[in-house]
Amino acid sequence: MLDKYLDINPEVAEAIKNKKAVVALESTIISHGMPYPQNVETARKVEEIVRSRGAIPATIAILNGKLKVGLTDEELEFLGNAKNVAKVSRRDIPFIVGKGLNGATTVASTMIIAEMAGIKVFVTGGIGGVHRNAQQTFDISADLTELAQTNVAVICAGAKSILDLGLTLEYLETHGVPVVGYGTDELPAFYTRQSGFKLVHRSDNANELAKIIKSKWDLNLQGGVVIANPIPEEYAMDFDYINDAIETALKEAKLRGVSGKETTPFLLAYIKRITHGKSLDANIQLVYNNAKVGAELAVELSRL
C-alpha cells in the first residue's frame, strides 16, 4: 500500500535494505527557514557532511503528492526557489498527497515519513515545543506529540529559544520522551549553549548513545529520543543579546497578530533582521554540527 505513496531514492533504498547508515533531513528549513540561495547551499552542505561521516543523506519532502525520501540536486534547487510550497505537519500530509501538491516537511512530518521508510536517525536545527503563553493559547508544536509516538532519534540544538523551554521539557517528560544532552548537562537553546534548564540524562559519545537508543526500542518503549547537541562555542550567540532580540520579535508578532504555523518563520526572520544576520549564521552552523553527530550516530546504530 505504501509503495503507492512513497518514493525512495535508489541510493537510499539500497542503504536501508543493506542496513547501512542513513540520516533523514527535513525540507522546511529549505522552503521556509532560510532565504535563497543560502537555503539550498546549506542543504547541499549538510548532505555533504553526512556523507563525509560515512552515512547516506535522505532529505525528505512531498513533491507532486509523492512522499520523497532522498532528493536529487535538482529537487533541492526546486524547493529553494518554488512558490506555494506548503509547510507540512502530520495533519497536512493527506491533503498535500491527495491533491498532488508540493510540501516541505517539518520535524513531525519528517519523522513520520522517515519511519515509513525505515530510517531511524533524523537531523534538524531545533525542535518545536510549547510556545510562550501556551496556558492561554494552547499553542503546542505537533513535533512534541510526534516524538511521543514515532520511533526516530532526533538530533537538534535543543528547542528553539523563541519557545517556553521549561514547559517544553515538562511536556516531553510527561510523554516519556528522553532528552539526552550530548556532551552537556544543560538543555541548549538553539542559538546558545545554555538555557538554565538542567537535563537528567547525558551521553558523551555516539557509540554509547546508539546503545541507549537501541535498548529503548528493543524494550518496545515507543516514541522518539531527543539528542540535544549544543551549537559549537565559537558560533554561539550571547545569551542576553539573543534573548533581547527574541523578546522584541515576540512583541512584534503579537502586534501584527501572527499566530499558528506562521509564528516560527516570522520570529526567525524578524530575529535575523534585528541581529543583522548573525542569527542566521548561527542557525547554519548548528545544523552543520548536528549533521556530524547524526551521521556518527547512524553509523554506530548500523553496527549494532
More confident residue, 265 or 189: 189
Active site residue 160: yes
38-60 pLDDT, tens digit each: 999 999 999 999 999 999 999 99
Q: Taking 90 as the threshold, does the pLDDT of residue 250 lie above it?
A: no
Report the chain's mean pLDDT, rounded to a whole number: 94
How high is the pLDDT of residue 34? 85
How high is the pLDDT of residue 160? 78
What is d(CA 67, CA 139) in angstroms, rounded to the nearest whole number? Answer: 27
Question: 2-303 has which fold?
Answer: Indigoidine synthase fold (3.40.1790)
- Location of C-alpha cell 541581529: 275
Q: Taking 90 as the threshold, does the pLDDT of residue 135 lie above it?
A: no
What is d(CA 260, CA 152) in angstroms, rounded to the nearest whole number? Answer: 25
Active site residue 251: no
What b/e string do you get for 253-264 counting C-beta neighbours within 10 Å, with b at 16 or more? beeeebeebebb
Helix axes 278-303, 206-218, angle to 10 degrees: 70
137-168 pLDDT, tens digit each: 788 899 999 999 999 999 999 997 788 999 99
Q: From the candidates 26, 47, 75, 300, give the one annotated as an active-site residue.
A: 26
Share of the chain above pLDDT 90, in %: 82
Q: From the candidates 68, 160, 216, 292, give the one annotated as an active-site residue.
A: 160
pLDDT band, residue 12 (cuts 50/70/90): very high
Cis peptide before 94 (omega within 30 of 0): no
